[in-house]
Amino acid sequence: MTNAVFKALPMLVSMITCQLVFIKVDSKYNLTSKITSKLPIKAEWKGFVIFCSVILIVLLIGIIGICIIDISDVLYGVITGGLVGVSIAISVELSQIQREQNR
């Protein structure tokens, strides 16, 4: 069990770090509204679409790592954690915006 924790640690650390960095950058530059203004879909589906697109990007990186170039497990975990961390931060921000608009 400890082996699995140590293998997941780089991904978790990069996910938490990227979430914190994105929240700080987003509060200063308002990136979430800029990203969502480019998406021509309903507001309640934007977080889901962003999360699904990040999952597809992670899948493509995994396929590239298997078939084309050899990506180490640690590097793949860091990249995946960073992408998932940013998408979770965007989705949470979008859900908060959606709740404020519904009030």
* Angstrom distance (rounded) from CA 29 to CA 19: 15
Q: Is 73 exposed, middle or buried (0-12, 13-18, 19+ CB in 10 A)?
A: exposed
The predicted-structure confidence for 39-71, as pLDDT tens digits, reads as follows 898 888 888 898 899 999 999 998 988 898 888
Work out the average pLDDT over 73-98: 90
Give 96's pLDDT tier (boundaries 50, 70, 90).
Answer: confident
pLDDT at residue 25, as a whole number: 95
User: Token pair 């480019």 is at which residue?
Assistant: 38
pLDDT-based confidence at 20, cuts 50/70/90? very high
